[in-house]
Amino acid sequence: MSYFKYGLPFLLLLASCRHVKPLAIADPRNPASEDLVVIKRADLEKRIGIIPSGKYVSLYDHKGVPMVVQFDDLDANGEWDEAVFLYSWKLNKMLGIQPVITDAPATVKAVVRAHVRHMKKNADNSFGPALDKDTMPVNALPTDFSKQVLPPYLTEGPAWENDKVGFRLYYDVRNGKDIWGKTTNRMVLDEVGTDTSKNYHQQADWGMDVLKVGASLGAGSLALLVPLPNGKDTLVRLGGKNIERVTYEKVADGPVRAICRLHYLNWKIVEGLPPVSITEEIHIWGGQYFYESHLTITGAPAGAQLVTGIVNLKSKNVHEINLNCWRAIYTYDEQSENKDKLGLAVVMRTAHVAGTSTTPNANTDIQNTYIMKANIKDNDPLYFRFYAGWEKSDQMFSTEQLFHAFLAHEMNCNGKTRILKKFRRLEK
């Protein structure tokens, strides 16, 4: 599995399911956190034996109450690959659970805490169901709202959210990312944008679109910095009219986490260079103020660097944090579209970071962006997280000092994904 991988001091203590003995998960570092816990099917089977095709594993806590577990089929072969759940360590430093192989997931009333959707407009101006897959029309242009009241896709493209924050992608040649600031924990992005009488650029009871993107990389959009034969470099936005095909794929959709993939096939970056293909897999799960981007790049020119960044149209300064093998750039200012405080950050492993800088603000395709650059190895995954902390979402984002402390805490805890691989019998 290719999440942000940490040297985890966590053990999944597991006994054979035939004896239905409990398993336990310990978190000695951060008992106040709520984490995504990932149990890979392959690792589980090494300890309890093969889980038959079509079967699931129900997990019960120490009181015998079934837990909310999501089963994700990541490779679309019809069998789940990972079981995931959220757990708040403030309840206990040790979580004891029992696994039981079942015909179906346990029936548990679950609050949906993560969601992804991509909806196409119908002829009657309604929007159809969420698409599992979709191919972008070639050279799709941004919607001209002076000529049509609704875009071809709800809010102009795929959107993903959790109970804290939301994001969207402009599914056209811009290929930009934007932010939904939320003031509710319910999932709202199936509704936002369907009613033209409601302006999502103005604050509503659920929140609003809080970011102005312009010609920037917005909220973690992508580009490549490519060395040219003349010795100069050129920064090229991922998107535009020089990509053979862009496809969207829904991988997982709540209640615990949501995943989608964007495939960019045969991107002709610069005349005379071979095309590049990129897959971006976007993850979001409950309780967090970020999305996580997993990138695989094939065919990048020698010396090319991946670039992502933060719009700086309304921020005066960029700040950096280096902590525990992580590097962050962040802004904090009165930079929301609501004219209030908004903190934005990109966090990446220090070993991957090639540098940071600021784009020019004129005479270039990508402007008004603080950027982070990463070295590329063909087919070697890269990861980053993009954070958005709006003061209307939580008062812990009401000052720059608080936002800085929040990011430092996130980096100090090495993120919040637990991938459990070590198994041991739990003796009574």
Q: Are residues 65 and 131 in the same domain?
A: no
Same domain assignment for residues 133 and 239 = yes
List own/partner pairs for 260-264 with CB under 8 A and 24 or more apart: 260/116, 260/118, 260/158, 260/160, 262/158, 262/169, 264/238
Residue with tokens 């063909």: 378
Average pLDDT over residues 287-311: 97
| Amino acid, single-letter form, for residue 48 | I
In angstroms, rounded to a whole number, what is the distance separating the alpha carbons of residues 338 and 334? 9
Within a domain: 259: yes
Is the pLDDT assigned to residue 257 strictly greater than 50?
yes
Q: Same structural domain for residues 70 and 134? A: no
Please check whether residue 209 is in contact with residue 180, taking contact to mean a CB–CB distance below 8 angstroms.
yes
Query: How many domains, the chain?
Result: 2
Amino acid at 279: T
Task: For residue 5, name the pLDDT band (cuts at 50, 70, 90).
Answer: very low
**Cα–Cα distance measured from residue 179 to residue 388, given in angstroms and rounded to the nearest whole number:** 8
Tell me whether residue 324 is in a domain: yes
Mean pLDDT of 194-211: 97
Residues 306 and 198 in one domain: yes
Relative to beta strand 165-169, strand 159-162 is antiparallel
Whether residues 229 and 207 share a domain: the answer is yes
- The CATH number linked to 340 is 2.70.98
Segments forming the whole domain that contains residue 355: 111-397
Most confident region among 32-36, 272-276, 281-285 by mean pLDDT: 281-285
User: Confidence class of residue 423 from pLDDT cuts 50, 70 and 90?
Assistant: very low
In a shared domain, residues 175 and 199: yes
Reported as a single tens digit per residue, the pLDDT across 218-245 is: 999 999 999 987 778 899 999 988 999 9
Residues 50 and 139 grouped into a single domain: no
pLDDT at 422: 45
Chain position carrying tokens 């999440």: 3
pLDDT category, 326, cuts 50, 70, 90? very high
Same domain for 90 and 220, yes or no, is no
**Residue 374 belongs to some domain of the structure:** yes
In a domain? residue 200: yes
How confident is the model at residue 216, as a pLDDT?
97
Q: Are residues 20 and 133 in the same domain?
A: no
Q: Does 116 share its domain with 87?
A: no
- Using alpha carbons, list the distances in angstroms from residue 342 to 372, 380, 393, 402: 19, 33, 10, 12
Q: Residue 408 domain-assigned?
A: no
Residues 226 and 153 in one domain: yes
* Under 8 Å between Cβ of 46 and 423: yes
Phi first, then psi: give them for residue 375, nearest 5 degrees.
Answer: -70, 150
Residue 3, in any domain of the structure: no
* Residues 175, 285 share a domain: yes
Q: Does residue 61 fall inside a structural domain?
A: yes
Residue at 21 is within a domain? yes
